Amino acid sequence: MNKKEILDILQDNTNNEQLFKKADKIRHDNVGDDVHLRGLIEFSNICKRQCKYCGLRSLNKEVERYRIQKNEIIDYVHNAVNLGYKTIVLQSGEDDYYSVNRMIEIIKLIKEFDVALTLSIGEKTYDEYREYKKAGADRYLLRIETTDKDLYKEMHPYADIENRFRCLYDLKRLGYEVGTGCLVGLPNQTLESLADDILFFKELDADMVGIGPFISHEQTPLKDYPNGDFWLALKVMALTRINMPTINIPATTAMETLNPNGRIIALQSGANVVMPNVTGTEYRAKYEIYPGKICINDKPEKCRGCIENKIKSIGRDISNDYGFHKK
C-alpha cells in the first residue's frame, strides 16, 4: 500500500472489522495458525535515558531500581526452557553496568540452552552489536518509537533519531533478525506520521514489528496526557500485517493493559507472537515502563498456562520451533 491508501484507512473507522479480518487472513495464509511464545526477562530497570513517556527514565526517583545478576538470569532461562520456551528475550533499560564483556558472558551461557536469543537493551555502537552477535545473539528489538522527527525530538530531548536509525541498519547489516515498532497515541502524534511509520518498517525490511498504545505514567512529564487508543493501535498493527505478510508480529502486553482481551483480539487481527514474562515475581512490578502492567504478581508457570489456554480457546496452537522469520 502507498501512503495515501494507508492514511485513508487510518482516517476511516467504518470498515475496521473488515480490516482486522483481512489482516487475520493474511496472517493465516502466510505464517499459519501457530503462535510463537517468547519468554521475556526484564533484567535491569536502571536507565540512563529520559524518554518522556517511560516510567524507567533516569529522572524518575520513585522507582526502586534493580539489576539481576548473571546466575539469577540463568535460573530464569532454565525455568523458561523447562516450560517449553524456544526464545528468550533479554530486555532492560540502558544500563552501562552490563558492559560488553558482561553481556557476552550472559549471552554465551544462555546459548548453551536450546533457545534463540533476542536482545532489547537499547542503542549501542556497531562494534558492541557485532560482539553480541558473535557471542550468539540471534535477534534484536529496538522500536523506532516514531519516525516523525519533530515528535521524536520532543519525546527524547537528549537523543538523536539518526542514531536510532543507524542502530537499526547496523543490526540488519550484522545479520540479526531485527524487530522494531512504534508507540501509538503519543501527544501530538498524527495519523500521517503513523502511515510513515508503517512505510518505514517495510523500508527497513524488519523481521518483527511490535505496536503498542502509549500508556500515560504518573511519574513522567506526560502524566496529564490521555492513553493511546487501543483500536487505533490495533489498526496500525493490522495494516503492518497487510503490508508485511511474513513477518512476526506480537500481540503486545500494552494492548492487554488497555483491553482485558487485548492480546486475543490482536492474535485475531494479524498478530502471531506473544511475549509472556518469565522474570521472577519480585521484580515485575518494578519494571514499570507504564502503569497497570498485567501479571505483576504471577509466576512464570502461571503466565505460561494462562496464555496457552487463551490461545487454544481460539483454535490456535503454540509453536514448538524457534519462530524465526520465514520469508
Q: Which residues bind ligand SAH (CB under 6 A)?
A: 53-54, 91, 93-94, 120, 122, 142-143, 145, 183, 212, 214-215, 217, 254, 289-290
Q: Position 62: which residue type? A: E
- The CB-of-5 to ligand SAH minimum distance in angstroms stands at 26
- The CB-of-122 to ligand SAH minimum distance in angstroms stands at 4
Using the 8-state DSSP alphabet, how is residue 210 labeled? E
Looking at beta carbons only, is 26 or 215 nearer to ligand SAH? 215
Is residue 223 within 8 Å of residue 217, measured between CB atoms?
yes
Looking at beta carbons only, is 274 or 289 nearer to ligand SAH? 289
Strand pairing partners for 140? Answer: 119, 178
* Cell numbers describing residue 188: 501530538
| 34-37 and 177-184 strand pairing | unpaired
- The CB-of-60 to ligand SAH minimum distance in angstroms stands at 11
Spatial separation of the C-alpha atoms in residues 12 and 9, rounded to whole Å: 5
- The CB-of-206 to ligand SAH minimum distance in angstroms stands at 14
- The CB-of-129 to ligand SAH minimum distance in angstroms stands at 13
Spatial separation of the C-alpha atoms in residues 140 and 152, rounded to whole Å: 21
- The CB-of-31 to ligand SAH minimum distance in angstroms stands at 23
Our measurement of the distance from residue 48's CA atom to the centroid of its chain's CA atoms, rounded to an integer in Å, reads: 20
CA–CA distances in Å: residue 204 to residues 2, 57, 90, 150, 196? 16, 27, 23, 20, 12
Q: Report the helix count and the strand count for the chain, using DSSP H and E.
A: 13, 9
Give the number of C-alpha atoms closer than 13 A to the C-alpha of residue 152, restricted to the C-beta side: 18
Looking at beta carbons only, is 80 or 255 nearer to ligand SAH? 255
Using the 8-state DSSP alphabet, how is residue 65 labeled? P
- The CB-of-95 to ligand SAH minimum distance in angstroms stands at 9
Task: Reduce the DSSP state of residue 2 to 3 states and report it.
Answer: coil
Looking at beta carbons only, is 257 or 319 nearer to ligand SAH? 257
Looking at beta carbons only, is 26 or 178 nearer to ligand SAH? 178
Looking at beta carbons only, is 59 or 314 nearer to ligand SAH? 59
Looking at beta carbons only, is 58 or 190 nearer to ligand SAH? 58
